[in-house]
Each structure stands twice: as structure tokens, then as C-alpha cells.
Amino acid sequence: NAGVTQTPKFQVLKTGQSMTLQCAQDMNHEYMSWYRQDPGMGLRLIHYSVGAGITDQGEVPNGYNVSRSTTEDFPLRLLSAAPSQTSVYFCASSGLAGAVYEQYFGPGTRLTVT
């Protein structure tokens, strides 16, 4: 059982370049989300999805796009990278454990924008 997988683990981009961070889960969870983690800021929600075809913005959505064509995959796109997007990105999926949701995280993608 792989859980939540993310690729790549590390990435360096130049300002203005685009890229897609991949995220997949094999737990059949409807709810998936993307966070960024910055020193002293904790986790901030970028976008989330409550099921295939349904996405919504979180706390810090500017500069990022998402889509959800399947239950398993939830890619995050940076259309024109900026140094302010240097961060560690975590994908998570949530499923019911009893009557309460639990959230499961991927290992993260460490992105540097120069």
C-alpha cells in the first residue's frame, strides 16, 4: 500500500518556468489537498478537491492551478514560477477512520525558484 506519493522529491526552476508537481493516492479517498510549508508559517492550504472534477481554492491559491480528473491523481501546476514560490509542497488525502476524517501526507517536494 503506497499511500500518498509525490514526484519529484526535489526541483530547481528558473523564474518564469512552469512545472507540474505530481500527487497520487491509492486509498480511494475523495478529499485531496495541497499545502506549502515555509519556515515559521506552518502549513498553508493552496487548493483542495472534494472529488473528481471538483476543486476549490484554499488560503494561498495565487500562482497555482489544479485539476482532478480521477480520484487517484491531483497535480499542482505552477504556470510561471516566482522566487516567492520556493517552498516545500505537501500533498495530502483524507479518508474516514470510523466517523472522523484522518489526513495522510506524501513525502513532499522541495522546490527552489532562482
Partner 1 sequence: GDSVTQMEGPVTLSEEAFLTINCTYTATGYPSLFWYVQYPGEGLQLLLKATKADDKGSNKGFEATYRKETTSFHLEKGSVQVSDSAVYFCALIMNTGNQFYFGTGTSLTVIP
Which residues here bind partner 1, judged by CB under 8 A? 4, 31, 33, 40-43, 45, 48, 50, 90, 92, 94, 98-108
Determine the residue type at 110. R
Residue 87 or 94: which CB sits closer to partner 1?
94
Determine the residue type at 69. S
The span from the CA of 104 to the CA of 79, in Å, is: 27
**Least distance to partner 1 from the beta carbon of 16, Å?**
29
**Residues 6 or more apart in contact with residue 47 via CB below 8 angstroms:** 33, 34, 55, 56, 57, 58, 61, 64, 65, 66, 76
Residue 14 or 98: which CB sits closer to partner 1?
98
**Least distance to partner 1 from the beta carbon of 99, Å?**
7
**Least distance to partner 1 from the beta carbon of 67, Å?**
19
Contact 94, 101 (CB under 8 A): yes
Residue 5 or 67: which CB sits closer to partner 1?
5
Residue 56 or 77: which CB sits closer to partner 1?
56
